[in-house]
Amino acid sequence: MADRLIVLHKDHLPPNRDRFECLAETVYVTEEELPLFLPGADILLAWWPLSPAVAASWPADPAKAPRWVHVAAAGVDPYLFPALTGSPTVLTNSRGVYDEPIAEYVLGLILCMAKDFPGTSEHQRRREWRPRDSERIGGRSVLVWGTGAVGRASARLLRAAGMRVSGAGRTARTADPDFGTVHGPTSLRAALGEADYVVLAAPLTPATRGMVDASVLAAMRPGARLVNVGRGPLVDEQALTDALADGRLAGAALDVFTQEPLPAASPLWDLPGVIVSPHTAGEVTDWRGDLADLFLDNLTRWIDGRPLHNVVDKQLGYVTDGSADRAADH
């Protein structure tokens, strides 16, 4: 008998979904319908990855819980609830789809701030001819906080653009192929004080929530800029607002926020030097097709009994080199 696949969707369905339907008994459900269909399902594809409905709908009987959950995103923080993390359910994500697009976006944001493209656009809108100097990024230092796939892709591209790159992670090391030096907790504050740009590319876990607080922002070099393409709750937004308003930081480029959509009343919309984008750093032409292809590959592996790609360590909250390609037995 074919596995029963539940696809949780919101605004759109996966492209080329007939390929799923040939391999599994597939049902497409909304958040409201999920509690009716999730119990007894073999596989859940969270095509709408930010939904809180999975935690709310998780079967009380462990025997009725899905054996595999695949998230159509890199971040899996909405799925790190005790009933799932404490179960045998395999959790996979979509690492690899977003890495290069987000890296390009990071480079674009840094260039945008250094060259003041928003100012140029505003002058054009006003029909004002206002020549002025801009900054170079070559030779400037950037600290990439988060050494996973997105952070590594960003580091490679920023280094190719001539920036001096280092990383920040749980474990300090030297001679890293992408970051050179990776700063651990003991050297992080010193590294923050030397960086012209700090790029946040870490996953959201209990250990990283609120990691950029007032003390971290105070440790950053005066006039530095912050780029966040990780998760909004990595940052204390009030502390960031204060640091930007009083001029300690020169600017910030923010693609993610604690509350999304960003409320119209948020001061971040209007602060000088701030670029706000609507959580779209990884969304490029046919990105949904890439997500569907990745899931189809894993679905084929699941049916064949082969190891899955992108297996998440449910205690850490992200894919590690050691946890990838496990969970062949199901």
pLDDT along the chain (330 residues), means of 10: 94 94 97 97 97 96 97 96 97 96 98 97 97 97 97 98 97 97 97 98 95 98 98 98 97 98 98 97 94 98 97 94 42
Length of the chain: 330
**pLDDT value at residue 320:** 87
pLDDT of residue 299: 98
Residue 67 known to be catalytic:
no
| Rounded Cα gap, residues 240 and 221, in angstroms | 14
Selected catalytic residue, list 130, 260, 283, 306 = 260
Q: Please say whether the beta carbons of 115 and 134 come within 8 A.
A: yes
CA-closest candidate to residue 260, choices 275, 241, 284, 279: 279
Q: How far apart are the C-alpha atoms of 179 and 194, rounded to whole Å?
A: 15
Q: What is the CATH number of domain 4-97+286-319?
A: 3.40.50.720
Domain residue limits, the chain:
4-97+286-319, 99-276
pLDDT at 324: 37
Catalytic residue status for 231: yes
Say yes or no: do domains 4-97+286-319 and 99-276 share a fold.
yes
Question: What's the fold here for domain 99-276?
Answer: Rossmann fold (3.40.50)
| Cα(262)–Cα(271) distance, integer angstroms | 14
Residues 6+ apart with CB under 8 A from 93: 70, 71, 73, 74, 75, 76, 310, 312, 318, 319
Give the distance from CA 100 to its chain's centroid.
12
Active-site entry in 4, 17, 279, 330: 279
Whole-structure pTM value = 0.92
Count the alpha carbons within 13 Å of 79 in the hemisphere toward its beta carbon. Answer: 30
Q: Who contacts 48 (Cβ-Cβ below 8 Å, separation ≥6)?
A: 8, 9, 10, 11, 31, 72
- Confidence (pLDDT) at 330: 40
Most distant CA pair in the chain, distance: 70
Sign of CA dihedral 171, 174, 178, 182: positive
